[in-house]
Chains A and B, each alone.
Chain A
């Protein structure tokens, strides 16, 4: 969302505000699907859910977010090596999370496939979240490749900040989706 530079305006503040609005807007989208889950299935929940695996991938995703944070801190100090290493770690952990979701899907497709009602909300909500994960992973991959080619430094790293913020957002959404699907 980089803008053509406006003289006299802080383009980083402009980009940052746009990203916050975009994130708020995405929250609205998720809230509709989360609302649908409670509206349709109340507090019902199938016993076949693999809650252990759910906790495991949640921990993996949280670690990925921490790595992304450390990567951003590193580039803000101008430490490119550390930035690249932690970005890569965030990508690997994020991919691991998606593999976990895949395993969960295989079990769910066996025990409550749509047209089952819980399958409907489970697959649509995790699917919506996974599609945002894929977007975020591509973005992380993009800043990693760009960083390897020498882009971003201590002064100019809005690209990193933006992608990492989006990654935290996807993470935060999971922290709402996970209890919604597994714990309530």
Chain B
């Protein structure tokens, strides 16, 4: 391919790319919607039926949005033999750009998905208000189900994308000594493809909402209000973004590692992101297929899931969980790997049983493909299927145990440095232990038949996904805050936030185990009044938990604006991101890094992980 000609953008408005994207998106939507309506009119159908017009308009609108926001400027012009423009702006404006800098993209992901996290958190507050009494407080049952569904899917998206999209993008290329991701423009595309997702979710409000939960089983998802269509489009869109991102991570980690950085020397967080990308690039297609089939049933008169027409609703559950079970590892493992990373640095010890921990992560990756039907124990599977899926599900506890072994062995006898990232990492281990042990009762058919669709399940998955994934996210935020911003956060307020969140989290979700055991169903607005006492505890815990994030926000905003400058390596950690300035320059390193040893050889005199060509080794 001939060397690509470059042009440079001379001046642009701060929100120029986004405004152009909205404009071309609107043009694309009108074209697509008009085209669909025209075809329907010619075929003699109702021309402006909401579903088909929105569906047809959406894909053209999405293409228009992407072209306008930056694909045309940086990419599509090249296909037509025209010069392209890769200039990036400096300062805060770069966060509103179609930029190829992985560090900027990481921050874009983090801020976007933290925003979604707080929004979905507010929805959870509303649900807890509703559950203050057994009767009706705020919502009708159908309104409650909309709030519950919107909370669920928004949080699922946060859990899938915040750690991998945020810290995967920010930290992985630096940790492997690369200048950027393997496909920087595809990386930008992944983010700007994810950006319309929250807009779609909020727009469901204007389309009557949706009430099928985040799992959106048919037949309800084929028959309910039209907000469901936007939900399905949002899931497919985030799926596309996820697939592009996963492919990018796999190639980046495989091809762009610094000289000397063998797979056996890879930091454990990089392993976590790499393994979960192996799941993401393949399995995400199945949820896209499930969403597409639902839309085909709903909009095009097909009968995949319509029992009356010969279809089978169970088909949806199989395809959906074939992705969505691996997806719970995509939500949990990066946070867990991040916690291991932090625990190692803050215990000042090598990661215990490193090879076994890596083996554990890879074994989970492999096993996750054969456990999906444990979400369907009460759906009417045959005995032999039940037997198979109980066995494979129980097998998962072995590699999970290896990861725990690594964490505990590292802490054992370590010189623990209890700064905020370490507190969050230890909380990950604590929470995930509760989540993991209660999972055993859900993995066994006998107990699961009793517990299925009760608050026991709600408590269990909040302990695993929030307890590991989201606590891991906050461990990462405090750990890398000095690196990202070049400033230090206030340790006092950070510790206050930690204890506040830790106590609030346990106060909210621990009672839910008892509620579930006593038969409180999930996804219902009202419940028997003898369960009120524990519900009030959970609600108060929820409000307390929610209020604690104000401390976090205040600390982060104030520290980012006027915190004291941070040094290049405030934690005296050894991995590569701490060998460059805070914040790192564009393309990360002043000179080419070379890896000469294991990343976690704390306590070994003279051990070195990496050197920069021509630079004095700082030790560590």
Q: Which of A26, A28, A39, A142 contacts B312 (CB 8 A)?
A: A39
Q: Which of A14, A32, A142 contacts B286 (CB 8 A)?
A: A32
A63 close to chain B: CB less than 8 A: no
CB–CB A120/B247 < 8 A: no
CB–CB B285/A120 < 8 A: no
A178 close to chain B: CB less than 8 A: no
CB–CB A14/B81 < 8 A: no
Given contacts A17-B254, A32-B290, A39-B315, contact A25 B81 (CB under 8 A): no
CB–CB A4/B296 < 8 A: no
Contact-size category for B: 35 or more
**Chain A residues positioned under 8 Å from B322 (CB to CB):** 32
Residue of A whose beta carbon sits closest to that of B254: A17
Instruction: Give the distance in Å from the alpha carbon of A101 to the alpha carbon of B564 in the complex.
Output: 67
**Chain B residues positioned under 8 Å from A117 (CB to CB):** 303, 309-311
**Chain A residues positioned under 8 Å from B78 (CB to CB):** 2
* Distance from B573 Cβ to chain A, minimum over Cβ atoms (Å): 26
Given contacts A32-B319, A39-B315, contact A9 B303 (CB under 8 A): no
Instruction: Give the distance in Å from the alpha carbon of A36 to the alpha carbon of B320 in the complex.
Output: 12
Residue of A whose beta carbon sits closest to that of B75: A2
**Chain B residues positioned under 8 Å from A123 (CB to CB):** 302
Instruction: Give the distance in Å from the alpha carbon of A159 to the alpha carbon of B251 in the complex.
Output: 18
Residue of A whose beta carbon sits closest to that of B86: A4
Residue of B whose beta carbon sits closest to that of A149: B81
CB–CB A21/B251 < 8 A: yes
Interface residues of A in 107-142 (CB under 8 A from B): 114-117, 119-120, 123-124, 142
Instruction: Give the distance in Å from the alpha carbon of A35 to the alpha carbon of B178 in the complex.
Output: 40
**Chain A residues positioned under 8 Å from B293 (CB to CB):** 33, 36, 124
Residue of A whose beta carbon sits closest to that of B290: A32
CB–CB A14/B319 < 8 A: no
CB–CB B311/A120 < 8 A: yes
* Distance from A116 Cβ to chain B, minimum over Cβ atoms (Å): 8
CB–CB A25/B302 < 8 A: no
* Distance from B76 Cβ to chain A, minimum over Cβ atoms (Å): 11
B281 close to chain A: CB less than 8 A: yes
Interface majority SS (helix, strand, loop, mixed), chain A: helix
Given contacts A3-B182, A18-B247, A115-B303, contact A142 B79 (CB under 8 A): yes
CB–CB B319/A124 < 8 A: no
CB–CB B2/A124 < 8 A: no
Instruction: Give the distance in Å from the alpha carbon of A158 to the alpha carbon of B2 in the complex.
Output: 11
B23 close to chain A: CB less than 8 A: no
Q: Which of A14, A26, A29, A35 contacts B182 (CB 8 A)?
A: A14
Number of A-B residue pairs at CB separation under 8 A? 124
CB–CB A114/B301 < 8 A: yes
* Distance from A161 Cβ to chain B, minimum over Cβ atoms (Å): 11
**Chain B residues positioned under 8 Å from A2 (CB to CB):** 1, 4, 78, 185
B184 close to chain A: CB less than 8 A: yes
Interface residues of B in 466-480 (CB under 8 A from A): none
Given contacts A4-B184, A17-B251, A28-B282, contact A40 B1 (CB under 8 A): no
CB–CB B302/A114 < 8 A: yes
B300 close to chain A: CB less than 8 A: yes
Q: Which of B186, B301, B312 contacts A40 (CB 8 A)?
A: B312
Given contacts A4-B100, A13-B255, A151-B81, contact A114 B300 (CB under 8 A): yes
Instruction: Give the distance in Å from the alpha carbon of A115 to the alpha carbon of B286 in the complex.
Output: 23
CB–CB A40/B185 < 8 A: no
B63 close to chain A: CB less than 8 A: no
Task: Encode contact with B along A1-22: 1 for CB under 8 Å, 0 otherwise.
Answer: 1111011110001100110011
Most A-side CB within 10 Å, residue of B78, B288, B301, B318: B301
B26 close to chain A: CB less than 8 A: no
Q: Which of A9, A28, A29 contacts B255 (CB 8 A)?
A: A9
Residue of A whose beta carbon sits closest to that of B252: A14
**Chain A residues positioned under 8 Å from B311 (CB to CB):** 40, 117, 120
**Chain B residues positioned under 8 Å from A14 (CB to CB):** 182-183, 251, 255-256
The 3 nearest A-B residue pairs measured at CB? A32-B289, A117-B310, A28-B285
A–B pairs, 20, beta carbons within 8 Å: A1-B183, A3-B182, A4-B185, A6-B178, A6-B179, A9-B255, A18-B247, A18-B248, A25-B282, A29-B286, A32-B289, A33-B293, A35-B318, A36-B289, A39-B312, A114-B302, A120-B309, A124-B293, A151-B1, A158-B1
